[in-house]
Amino acid sequence: MKSSNSRRNFIKTASVGTLASMALSLPQIVSAAVAENGIKKISIDKNDIILFQGDSITDWGRDHSKTIPNDTGSLGTGYVLLASGQLLIKYPENNLQIYNKGISGNKVYQLAERWDIDALSINPTVLSIHIGVNDFWHTLTSGYTGTIDTYIADYHTLLDRTKKALPNVKLVVCEPFAVKAVKAVDDKWYPTFDQFRKAAKDIANEYNAAFVPYQAAFDKALELAPGTYWTLDGVHPSIAGEALMAKTWMESIGER
């Protein structure tokens, strides 16, 4: 009986140790992805107005008829909601106002078409932009004829316009990402798509913005689980992928 109890205790201890090790792995992966990019941090200050902008990955089912901040319907059910929850629980005294104005399918020029209403009129003090996957993907699937040069030029124009209207805004540029060999993402994406990723990082550096290295985070996450665990189709994140994005976003701006 004593031997049997000892064995059960050993198995229980080993299992707990394994789970603890796995629990530490994801934060370590995110920290490593952020650290190796050597990126700028921003601060979250009292009365900050935080705006998330982008395409479907940001939109993620939000109610477009709602314009109120800090509302589940307005924020959607993706990484924006998860990051917003972390911000609000970390800074209950800061009176943060958080908005999501992502729209599915958008490319940079489509952000520009709605920028006055969906960005500048909100007067954000923190502006996070995740855009670029459609600027490439739609050249394969939807007849879009834009190139990497189009993406760079459109992005510069958008940020120049933003800085002119909001000179003190704290910018966060998120890296477009894809997980290869999961449904939509195949060899046709490369090496061209990597140019869009590099362009986003270069633009972040040019505009002294925080940079969220999503590709590095997803690449490292593949050491823990396959791509189908983190993403639904190689582009859109699963629940686990949303959590990974939110944690990487928080880490990238300097908030843990």
| Token pair listed for 251 | 């880490």
Q: Catalytic pick from 56, 84, 128, 252?
A: 56
| Token digits of residue 190 | 């490369």
Annotated active-site residue in 59, 84, 236, 252: 236
Q: Of the residues 63, 156, 233, 238, which is catalytic?
A: 233
Spatial CA neighbour of 251 closest among 222, 213, 208, 223: 213
Q: What count of other Cβ atoms lies within 10 Å of the Cβ of residue 194? A: 14
How far is residue 170's CA from residue 190's CA, in Å, rounded to a whole number?
32
64 is catalytic: no
Cβ neighbours of residue 148 closer than 8 Å, sequence gap 6 or more: 192, 195, 196, 199
Per the annotation, the verdict on 149 as an active-site residue is: no
Is 233 designated active site? yes
8 A C-beta contact, residue 185 and residue 178: yes
Report, as residue numbers or ranges, the catalytic residues. Answer: 56, 233, 236
